Chain A
């Protein structure tokens, strides 16, 4: 009764059209989002064995590269190996993104929050996660292969590209993982659907990283960065628009 009174009263004074209300809504959404994001991070933190598993995977991949190559002859190989590791790590991390939650949990989340925020929180979390994992793999690469080839590296550019590439992978693959999860087609489906989807991103990021490692100027590499940004935005917008349809049962 009190709620009804409040809402009609607030409507009558035009509260819903006021900037205060809209700002309140935005804050409300930010709260939902941050709560969901917090939930993702907490879940990851509580399953430390899984986290350790992914990092072990990165370490093992880089170590296999080291055993095979001993030393890397060209900067191009450096860039390509780094991103092959990055992609497989991203796939590995992504496969747990949806499958760790039971159907009951998902239904519960669905009643609590807009599905857009669910995908958004997952995508943002995965983007951060992939970026961190890629940084770890860069660390391992430097550890095993040394810095002999990397005299003229533009580190700020390289890291910016790494970040954008990781977020792009995170955004696109989260969405694909959602589709694969819903279709119940098994674990392999993420790779089948995901690989062609991320191909343009992958080509661009390899090109960008290689150029940055070779020490290309920011202007000559700017186009690759632009393409990366555009691909990020495209996958973000598509995920945001299409995810509610995916979530509807």
Chain B
């Protein structure tokens, strides 16, 4: 079959688009109305996201963990609807804390945890001392339905993973194609082959630049939702911006060199420089500097804890689909450029 790449690409993208937008979220804990716990009776509202409190009212249990060392059970529960429950917990005289966490157990949703509103860092939900009648345990039977994993700040925007990350992968693939053809363009002595390779390199870089812009836009949207700003001071973001500028400079260099052979040679040299810079900026530097992206100052990628099987089953096809799409557009672009060149030469 001649067009199998295109059909495969379209099928993968359709699958990724449909599932990344329609796949439900797994339930998770959203927020707690209390900011401080004091001795005596504490009343607050526990709200979940996509939970089934009403449906599983009978089996619902809410736990409070204080300073990662003591657990108490809520003794009065008043379910408002599927995502909200009023909780009242009685604490002994000695307990008072700003570092606390909540967990809710029920038969449908499994265990849901809300971190402490103040000072999340290093907070672990532990049994420790506390009320001996109240045994907290993570329910083995997790949420039975399927859904994307719930992450505290990301929530629904985890769907962007299937759009934002493949853009960068596609850009990397296209820039690598450009890099390889730039090297080959320099390797050949004959003018004709050199020009053809140059054309391939520049077509790939042009499409790669479009994917770079798309990656920046999707990333900017995501940053606005999770980090609060359209642009944040993160090594990966700044690096991506520099990469964008370098490749724009590449096209400025091309357009300001009138002679064809010279343009081919100069832009091939600059492209090699740009590619090396891109690898340094996006793959090496973020590992050394503190940042906001997942796996900061380590491996800049989603770790195995964040990327569960339901995400993987959409994420990998999305990557493959976008890479194929990028390759397809690059081929089209190359052929258009070639035709234009041919046309110019004939006139």
Contact = CB atoms under 8 A, between A and B. Distances in A.
Interface residues of B, number: 28
B273 A246 contact: no
12 contacts: A175-B273, A183-B253, A183-B263, A183-B266, A189-B252, A192-B252, A193-B253, A196-B246, A197-B246, A242-B269, A245-B265, A246-B265
B259 to A, nearest CB: 8
Nearest to A249: B262
Interface of A: 175, 179, 182-186, 189, 192-193, 195-197, 199-200, 203, 223, 227, 230-231, 234, 238, 242, 245-246, 248
Contacts of A231: 280
Interface in B242-290: 242, 245-246, 248-249, 252-253, 256-257, 262-263, 265-266, 268-270, 272-274, 276-277, 280-281, 285, 288
B269 A179 contact: yes
Contact of A179 (B239, B248, B266, B276): B266
Contacts of B274: 197
Interface of B: 186, 238-239, 242, 245-246, 248-249, 252-253, 256-257, 262-263, 265-266, 268-270, 272-274, 276-277, 280-281, 285, 288
Nearest to B254: A183
A134 B135 CA distance: 68
B256 A199 contact: no
A193 B280 contact: no
B253 A189 contact: yes
Given A192-B249, A245-B186, A246-B265, A227 B285 contact: yes
A248 B265 contact: yes
B273 A242 contact: yes
Given A185-B256, A223-B288, A203 B238 contact: yes
Nearest to A194: B249
A203 B238 CA distance: 10
Contacts of B288: 223, 227
Q: Chain B at the A interface: mostly helix, strand, loop or mixed?
A: helix
Contacts of A182: 262, 266
Those 5 A-B pairs whose CB atoms lie nearest each other, nearest first: A185-B256, A196-B245, A183-B257, A196-B246, A199-B242
Given A175-B273, A189-B256, A234-B280, A196 B262 contact: no
- Which residue of B238, B245, B253, B269 has the most chain A CB atoms within 10 A of its CB atom? B269
Contacts of B276: 234, 238
Contact of A199 (B245, B252, B268): B245
Given A183-B257, A196-B249, A246 B266 contact: yes
Given A184-B257, A200-B242, A246 B249 contact: no
A238 B270 CA distance: 10
Nearest to B242: A199
- Which residue of A179, A223, A231 has the most chain B CB atoms within 10 A of its CB atom? A179
B222 to A, nearest CB: 23
Contacts of A193: 249, 252-253, 270
- Which residue of A231, A234, A248 has the most chain B CB atoms within 10 A of its CB atom? A234
Contacts of B266: 179, 182-183, 246
Given A200-B239, A242-B269, 13 more contacts: A179-B253, A182-B262, A183-B262, A192-B252, A192-B253, A193-B252, A193-B253, A196-B246, A196-B249, A197-B249, A199-B242, A238-B272, A245-B186
